[in-house]
Structure 1
Amino acid sequence: MNATIDRTGATHLVRAEGAPCPTLVIDADRLPAGDAELLEGLAGIRDGLDPATRRTVLKNAVVRPSAHPLFDLDYYFVQSLPGGRGRFDTRGSCGHSILAAVEAAARDGMIPPLEPGRRVRVNVVNNGDHVVCEVDETGPDRTRFTAHFLCTPARPVGDLLVTGEPVTHVRLDGRRIPVSLVDMGNPYVFVGAGDLGVRDTRELFTAGDELFGLLGRVRLAVCAHMGWDSSGAFPKIAALLPGPDGELAVRAVSVPSWHPTLALTGAICLGTAVGIEGTVPFSLARAAGHESGLVRLRTPGGPLRARARITGPADAPRLGWVSVADKYVSYEHTVAPPVGAYGLPSPSRSEDTSCLSLPL
């Protein structure tokens, strides 16, 4: 891409449909280099938000034009955690925030304007994911995307199973609960809602604090089993039930409550898991009548469609890519921090980015 760009350096609020909150999108050049310094600078930017926005907007995307010839945008996701200033988790990603970042970057001049057919190539700094955001439709304040998560080269599906096995059993209340730990887009724990006493989709979607707490305890049991730190946002957890005509019902936990739909990375991970023989999602999807190809997901907030491309021989399958269609993004407004705040210089409007890189 061109090394000389014209950009505003503004901070934006953008909402991806189905996300639990908008994303705060920040030009990386407003922040200092180094991971700890960047997070402190981000905390300073968030201090300048009005209290309601600071309390409810928990997703942050730090972006800049990519110096790598294969990408258009470098993206660094930071999840704000409840409980105090500067509590962040950078160990995962957020697909909805990737789309929000693309929308903001186009408005800010980091990348060309969005138009149908344009494909924006995003490098996820947190975990090395390669994501292509394909523009399907544009409007004054809303864009429709298809998100493609690529595996280059194609990854053995066994590498996506965190424990190396399709099913792992964890102990909870004297019982052994079968779960599948799959890592594609983000690490997820998938558990059959029936194993938690849920009888049907209506009960799954209307359940309140009791099921929410139970899923949290399953997640804690998984973290204890794996020796993981349970204080951050990852791994995510979702409960599944087979539905009619091959459909899979899913309800997921976000930070700090139920997810209104399913994270885009959750749809990517679940679409992948459905194609891996023996996993909890595979078995439940087969119980619903799903065989292969496009998988239809039903969430409390509406349907989703995911497709995973798995190739190779049956004894050595590989994942090529996973796609989720019909994702809408709406631009909300520009956030204008005070001039000279946080001791950081504003980015120049004509800047050579050929050797810039995000921390981490």
Structure 2
Amino acid sequence: MLAHIAHAHGSPSSTLVLPAEQLPSSEEALSRALSDGVAWLAGHGLSAVTKIALVSASEHPLFDLDYRFVQVIPGDPVRFDFRGSCGHSVLSSVVVAARLGWLPRLAPGHRTRVRVLNTDDHVVCEVDECVRDRTTFTAHFLNHPAVPLRELLPFGEPTTDLPYEDGMIRVSAVSVGNPYLFLSGHDLGVGTPEELFAAGEPLFRTMTAIRRSAAHQYGYPVEGAFPKVAAVLPDGEDGLAVRAVSVPSWHPTIALTGAVCLGAARRIRGTIPFQLAGGETGRTAPLRIRTAGGCTTSAAAVTGHDRDSELAWVSVPEKAVSFTGTVSIDSFEPHVQKEDSCLLSI
């Protein structure tokens, strides 16, 4: 089977993009197939690829692509998490789909509508620039209809005291794009953005323990990838410094879904991002997000007032993706759905 690899700049891993119709749909059978595929990657020097996207041309009249995300959880044996999404992998899938001819050739202004099957998110990927093998997008995460802000709080409140193995900590649980836990760096004993970016294994272990506790609260596998967790600190006007945990280490920047969720959380009165980004002051301005690996912005459109406020969309600009190449993974062949393979032989 031909597979395609693309890398979204700032992501901890490139994405392996596969044709969904050629592989099993059930998690059990798909896990067997992907285990063989991941073993092939490891044997060919590509073990760092831990994100997989299964894509197909959408049968829904409002969308161009259907997308299913799979997070590889390294270990022996390797495991897979099917629960969440990855915005960087969505963009990588658009780049690959265009190269396969499933979409019109990408050009500035072109918009691709993606239906995320894991989370039922609707993402519009708008091309800003195309240069050789690199495409830059603005990603728009849409809610139709708009969603009340209070429904974005899985624990029902802007902040919650969450027990974990070392005691209790205040968290803001917000779910937009992916479920996230936002922690104040001050509550973790970190005073400045520079200290946050330089923090090592002790802080990583603490944040991982907090994430595991929250996973138990969500009813998710504690060894999985979701919910995500990030620590935040004030960083100037309309700005936050952020350090996030990924799989299996620190995220080099912040996930695209993390930027989306953080932009939304900043608009929800009482959350930790709302408080640390200045509260009501400048609440409607785009949020500037600084990480150790660079900066991005997140703009959330909220309608209504106070308790009736609703989230309409969140946009994150300047997300660049580079096409890496094509590989032929023969270990997928025993799992290929033969009746469909003729439709997608590229």
For the pair 1:15 / 2:7, whether they are aligned, the reply is yes
Q: Distance in 2 between matches of 1:33 and 1:178?
A: 39
TM-superposed CA distance for 1:82, in Å, is 1.1
TM-superposed CA distance for 1:339, in Å, is 8.9
Counterpart residue type for residue 267 of structure 2: G
Superposed counterparts of 1:1-360, under 5 Å: 10-51=2-43, 53-172=45-164, 175-286=167-278, 290-338=282-330, 341-344=333-336, 345=338, 347-348=341-342
TM-superposed CA distance for 1:118, in Å, is 0.6
Kept in 2, the 8 Å contact 1:66–1:74? The answer is yes
TM-superposed CA distance for 1:177, in Å, is 1.5
TM-superposed CA distance for 1:34, in Å, is 2.7
Which residue is 1:4 aligned to?
none
Q: Distance in 1 between matches of 2:167 and 2:22?
A: 51
Q: Distance in 2 between matches of 1:107 and 1:186?
A: 28
Identity %: 47
1:255–1:350 distance in 2 versus 1, CA, 3 Å: closer
Q: Distance in 2 between matches of 1:209 and 1:215?
A: 10
Pick which of 326-335 and 282-291 moved more: 282-291
Which residue is 1:354 aligned to?
none
TM-superposed CA distance for 1:349, in Å, is 5.2
Q: How many residues align?
A: 343
TM-superposed CA distance for 1:216, in Å, is 1.2
Q: Distance in 2 between matches of 1:11 and 1:275?
A: 40
Q: Distance in 1 between matches of 2:283 and 2:211?
A: 29
The alignment yields a C-alpha RMSD, in angstroms, of: 2.0
Kept in 2, the 8 Å contact 1:40–1:86? The answer is no
1:287–1:202 distance in 2 versus 1, CA, 3 Å: farther
TM-superposed CA distance for 1:78, in Å, is 0.3
Which residue is 1:3 aligned to?
none
Which residue is 1:355 aligned to?
none
Pick which of 275-284 and 287-296 moved more: 287-296
TM-superposed CA distance for 1:86, in Å, is 4.6
1:310–1:56 distance in 2 versus 1, CA, 3 Å: same
Q: Distance in 2 between matches of 1:316 and 1:87?
A: 41
The SS at the match of 2:169 is strand
Q: Distance in 2 between matches of 1:217 and 1:105?
A: 38
Kept in 1, the 8 Å contact 2:85–2:118? The answer is yes
TM-score normalised by structure 1 residue count:
0.90
1:177–1:109 distance in 2 versus 1, CA, 3 Å: same
Kept in 1, the 8 Å contact 2:174–2:180? The answer is yes
Q: Which ranges in structure 1 are unaligned for 5 or more consecutive residues?
A: 1-8, 352-360
Q: Distance in 1 between matches of 2:44 and 2:162?
A: 39
Question: What's the CA shift string for 1:159-213, capped at 9, x where partnerless?
Answer: 1001111000023467532100000000000000110100101100011101111
Q: Distance in 2 between matches of 1:289 and 1:310?
A: 16
TM-superposed CA distance for 1:43, in Å, is 2.2
Q: Distance in 2 between matches of 1:181 and 1:228?
A: 14
Kept in 1, the 8 Å contact 2:67–2:115? The answer is yes
Kept in 2, the 8 Å contact 1:170–1:225? The answer is no
Kept in 1, the 8 Å contact 2:262–2:273? The answer is yes
1:53–1:65 distance in 2 versus 1, CA, 3 Å: farther
Deviating 4+ runs (over 6 angstroms):
none
Kept in 1, the 8 Å contact 2:68–2:116? The answer is yes
Pick which of 221-230 and 9-18 moved more: 221-230
Kept in 2, the 8 Å contact 1:130–1:150? The answer is yes
Q: Distance in 1 between matches of 2:303 and 2:321?
A: 31
The SS at the match of 1:55 is coil
1:33–1:239 distance in 2 versus 1, CA, 3 Å: closer
1:340–1:60 distance in 2 versus 1, CA, 3 Å: closer
The SS at the match of 2:194 is helix
1:106–1:227 distance in 2 versus 1, CA, 3 Å: closer
1:176–1:116 distance in 2 versus 1, CA, 3 Å: same
Q: Distance in 1 between matches of 2:7 and 2:164?
A: 37
The SS at the match of 2:102 is coil
The SS at the match of 2:273 is helix
